Structures are given as C-alpha cells and as structure tokens.
Amino acid sequence: MKNFNTHDLRLDTINNRGHLNTEKLNPKSKGLDKLSTESLVTLFNQEDKIPQESVERAKLSITNAIEAIYARVKKGGRLFYLGAGTSGRLGVLDAAECPPTFCCPPDLVNGLIAGGSDAMHRSSEYLEDNEEDGKLELIKYKFSSLDSLIGITAGGTTPYVIGALKYALDVNGLAIALACVSTDEAILPCTLDIRLETGPELLSGSTRLKAGTATKMTLNIISTALMIRLGKVYSNMMVDLSATNFKLIDRSLRILETLAKIDREKGIEVLRQASGSVKLALLISISKLDPESSIKLLEHHDGNLRSALDSIGCCIDES
C-alpha cells in the first residue's frame, strides 16, 4: 500500500462527501453488528432488491447508451470501461468475459482500472485521486472520436474517472457517466448520464454492495445488448462461439442440434469444416453451401447469421 504522509494532510484538500447517498448511514442497518447471521442474510436479501429497481428506473438512459455505443462500434470504434476500486474491477470483469462469450476481438471491449492489473487483486483506492491519470490512461490506448467510454464512479466524485470523461469529451468521443447517486448530488462531465440510485449501503460507504450489484447488472445489459445488435446471437443462443474446450464443444453441438437439427456426430463433422465456428457451421448446415461460400456470405452480411440466411431464403425452425 502507498505510504500516506499525514503531515501533508490539510482539511482544505478533502472534499466532504457526506451528502452523497452512497456515503450516508442506512437507518435499516442500525445495530448491524448485533444481528444474528440469519437476520443479516434476511436484511441483505431485502436490500438487494433495490439494485434491480434502480436499473429499471434507468432503462431509458441505458437504452440510449447502447444505441450510441453500437453506432460507433459499427464505424470501427471501441468500448472502454474505466473506474477505480470496485467500479474498475467490475468493468474489467465484464470486458474480459466478452471475447470468450461472443468471439469478439479482444480490444473491442476494454476494462481500465486505476492502478492497472495489480489493482484487480490489491486495494488501489488511493490511485483514484488524480484526474490527469484518467486522461493519460485513455491517451495510452489512443482513445479517439470513434470510441465510447463508460466512466464508472459509484459516488460520482472519483477524479480518475472525471479526468477520463473530460478527455473523452475533448476528443469528441462518446462519454457516458455511470454513477449510483443523483445528478443533484454529483454532476459529471458526459454526453450521456446513467444514474443507478441505490441509496445508502447497509454497511455505510461500502459501494461493493448495492451500488456494485446495480453496476454489474447494467454492464451485463450493455455488453450483451451490444453483442446482440452486432449479430453475435441468434434467438437466445450465443452462436458466435468458438469451440475451444470440452464445455464449449458440448454447447456448440447442442446449438447445432437445436437450430440445424443435426445429430452430434454430424455436428462434429461440420464444426471441423467450420474450424470450430458455430455460426459458420450453422450456415453450412442450413444453407448447404460449401465453407468458402458460407464465409463470403457471412462477411457480406457483417457476420449476421439471420440476415445471411434471410438473403438466400433460408429460415431456422426456432420452436
């Protein structure tokens, strides 16, 4: 941990954040340390309904963010999540899960956290206090006007995130703020504003709880909806999948059984022809085209399986 020199500590350098709902005391959890284990579990379970409600209230701003990100990604842009502490870790987690889930390029969705990869495993909250660091992080990744940034800050006051949002605006990128307090409590520089008002935590100030839950739900929605818009899903199946281990081979074969109506033995054969690509294997199986023609057809339709099949008059029985 960084050495903190208390001799340099001055009251005028410390902003009072007591007005933020994420920092206030929760009246429901007075005497928290005296509750039985069962009572603790019950109380946490009751409070964990609030994140879902907060995401529901923010659905219009989340929708607008997805559409704006998609428009830029279609032009070659990338998506960046950026935050410190819990907020940063949640962004890194969601970004890391996109390539194996959707077979997307590893640099399409990026998770940046104050302190870098070490901060995923060790406390790094002291690194959030410099606006310049957020800006420099985006410069390092050559963030441009095509790119989208989601700056994640539960309390809406993290300098590292604010600096990055300002820089994104400066270069005409898409700057999306995601916070768990109202705009009255904390104003953030941004193009679009997502507010997940989760209220005071049961453990005062511990935003890894309700605020973290609401943030993870929202990032899940944003990245999954983006990939659906990009044609990486057919019906409710992740067809843009590469069969690279036993679990994924089994899932791939089940998808082929369901959509292409072929048995597992035939599925293995077609997966070999498609070099493990489920989407390509589906197109080969249903269209009866050879692999090379199927590849060209998919490319012509930007990788969208439904669009490719529709163009040649083929359809899948989804029942």
pLDDT digits (tens, 9 = 90+) for 31-53: 999 999 999 999 999 999 999 99
Residue 277 has pLDDT above 50, yes or no: yes
pLDDT at 36: 96
What pLDDT does 258 receive? 93
Q: Which two tokens stand for residue 115?
A: 């302190």
Answer yes or no: is pLDDT of 124 > 80.
Answer: no
CATH number of this structure's domain 27-229, picked from the four choices 3.40.50.300, 3.40.50.10490, 3.30.1330.90, 2.60.120.380: 3.40.50.10490
Query: Are 177 and 186 spatial neighbours (Cβ–Cβ below 8 Å)?
Result: no
Q: CB-based contacts of 248: which residues, under 8 Å, 6+ apart?
A: 241, 242
Amino acid sitting at position 213: T
SS3 call for 177: strand
- 174 beta partners: 148
Could you give phi then psi for residue 143, rounded to 5 degrees?
-60, 130
Ordered alpha helix ranges (H), 141-289: 159-170, 210-229, 246-260, 264-273, 278-287
Mean pLDDT, the chain, as a whole number?
Answer: 91
Question: Where are the CATH 1.10.8.1080 domain residues in the chain?
Answer: 246-311
Q: Which pLDDT does position 2 carry in this prediction?
A: 47
- Which is it for strands 79-83 and 148-152: parallel, antiparallel or unpaired? parallel
* Beta-strand pair 174-179/79-83: unpaired
pTM: 0.88
Cα 45 from Cα 41, distance rounded (Å): 6
Q: What's the CA gap between 249 and 241, in Å, rounded?
A: 9
Integer Rg of the chain from CA: 23
Domain spanning 246-311, CATH architecture: Orthogonal Bundle (1.10)
DSSP string of 18-49, one letter each residue? TTSTTTSPPGGGTTGGGS-HHHHHHHHHHHTT
Mean pLDDT of 144-148: 98
Contact 181, 155 (CB under 8 A): yes
18 burial level (CB within 10 Å; 0-12, 13-18, 19+): exposed
Tell me how many degrees the CA angle 120-122-123 measures, rounded to the nearest 5. Answer: 105
Given a cut of 90, is residue 184 above it in pLDDT? yes
Q: Where do the CATH 3.40.50.10490 domains begin and end in the chain?
A: 27-229
Q: Would you place residue 14 in the very low, low, confident or very high pLDDT band (cuts 50, 70, 90)? A: very low
Inform me whether the pLDDT recorded for 243 exceeds 80: no
Q: What are phi and psi of 173, to 5 degrees?
A: -80, 170
Q: Do you know the residue count of the chain?
A: 319
Q: Specify the pairing of strand 109-113 against strand 79-83.
A: parallel
Is the predicted pLDDT of residue 183 greater than 90, yes or no?
yes
Which pLDDT belongs to residue 100? 87
Catalytic residues: 97, 128
What pLDDT, on a 0 to 100 scale, did the predictor assign at position 16? 52
